[in-house]
């Protein structure tokens, strides 16, 4: 019987490290099979900044979010759906896998509405619906989907959408068994700066109330709890520690697992 899908999202400095990306590609190929569907979602903010500056455009942020006008959106799409996406596809091919690069525009995968109604962010949106039909069709053909978060906006144009949110929307639409966020952090840390192996939504609110989780980690953790509430089996937050990391993350040996209240505790490695 087929396993429920796994959705992996990469970000942070790892998205710029060719060695780590090659290791990830090999791990994805090892995990992916007809009985275990896998999809990769990626960002690429630093690449966007670099390319905007190359064109003489300075990145502009409003309340910490990238302002994206029509000219900037062209560069966002070229960078994410072009250069970054095809790099990842090539790395999967080099690892003897079969990959196909798509964006949220293809097949109407992600539909978005403005993140701010006042238009202060330009063409920056939030995902309002996800049609995973194209992703499922690629799996049927034996292809591992590599997904750029660029989405279809309300005006029929491409819109800039946060990759974390896109990955969560895809995981929810697919009823994924696990959504894996891989970035620069080793997981959620406690007061002693030690990794917390597993958390429930109740535990998350306790960490926030005690001031252990702060800053940008608060909305990220609450977003993970909201994703669990939609039926996704687990959400995992982890860093990269070399070849085989994806298997270790899914086995609970690294990173932090967010799972429903009452789920079985995660066994710790000896």
- Residue 265 CA from chain centroid, whole number: 25
Pairwise CA distance, residues 147 & 104, whole Å: 7
CATH number of 1-21+36-179: 3.40.50.720, 3.40.50.300, 2.60.120.10, 3.40.1160.10? 3.40.1160.10
151-152 and 99-103 strand pairing = unpaired
pLDDT at 187: 93
pLDDT at 10: 95
pLDDT at 269: 38
Q: What is the pLDDT along the chain (270 residues), one digit of tens a residue?
A: 478 999 999 987 777 789 999 999 999 999 999 999 999 999 876 666 676 666 666 767 777 777 888 888 988 899 899 999 999 999 999 999 999 999 999 999 999 999 988 888 889 999 999 999 999 999 999 999 999 999 999 999 999 999 999 999 999 999 999 999 998 889 999 999 999 999 999 999 999 999 999 888 898 999 999 999 999 999 999 999 999 999 999 999 999 999 997 665 554 433
Pairwise CA distance, residues 210 & 240, whole Å: 28
**Domain residue ranges of the chain, discontinuous segments joined by +:** 1-21+36-179, 185-270
Cα–Cα distances in angstroms (integers) from residue 134 to residues 39, 90, 148, in the given order: 11, 20, 13
For the chain, give the longest Cα–Cα distance.
Answer: 54
Output the CA torsion 119→69→67→101 (10° steps).
Answer: 120
In 3D, which of 113, 46, 110 has the Cα closest to residue 80? 46
In 3D, which of 126, 161, 137 has the Cα closest to residue 41? 161
pTM of the model: 0.92
- Residue 181 CA from chain centroid, whole number: 6
pLDDT at 63: 75
pLDDT at 268: 42
Cα–Cα distances in angstroms (integers) from residue 70 to residues 4, 159, 252, in the given order: 38, 9, 43
Pairwise CA distance, residues 261 & 270, whole Å: 25
């Amino acid at each position: 019987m087929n396993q429920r899908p796994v959705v992996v999202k990469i970000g942070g400095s790892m998205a710029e490290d060719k060695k780590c990306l090659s290791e990830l590609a090999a791990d994805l190929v090892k995990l992916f099979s007809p009985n275990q569907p896998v999809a990769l979602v990626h960002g690429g903010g630093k690449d966007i900044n670099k390319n905007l500056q190359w064109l003489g455009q300075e990145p502009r942020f409003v309340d910490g979010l990238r302002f994206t006008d029509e000219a900037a959106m062209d560069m966002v799409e070229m960078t994410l759906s072009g250069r970054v996406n095809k790099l990842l596809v090539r790395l999967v091919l080099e690892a003897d896998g079969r990959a196909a690069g798509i964006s949220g525009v293809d097949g109407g995968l992600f539909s978005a509405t403005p993140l701010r109604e006042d238009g202060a962010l330009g063409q920056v949106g939030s995902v309002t619906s996800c049609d995973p039909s194209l992703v499922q069709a690629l799996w049927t053909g034996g292809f591992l989907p590599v997904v750029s978060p660029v989405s279809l906006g309300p005006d029929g144009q491409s819109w800039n959408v946060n990759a974390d949110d896109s990955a969560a929307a895809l995981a929810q639409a697919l009823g994924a068994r696990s959504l894996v966020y891989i970035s620069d952090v080793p997981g959620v840390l406690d007061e002693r700066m030690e990794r917390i192996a597993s958390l429930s939504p109740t535990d998350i609110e306790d960490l926030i109330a005690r001031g252990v989780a702060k800053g940008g980690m608060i909305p990220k953790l609450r977003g993970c709890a909201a994703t669990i509430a939609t039926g996704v089996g687990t959400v995992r937050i982890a860093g990269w520690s070399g070849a085989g990391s994806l298997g270790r993350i899914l086995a609970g040996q690294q990173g932090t697992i967010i799972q429903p209240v009452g789920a079985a505790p995660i066994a710790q490695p000896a």
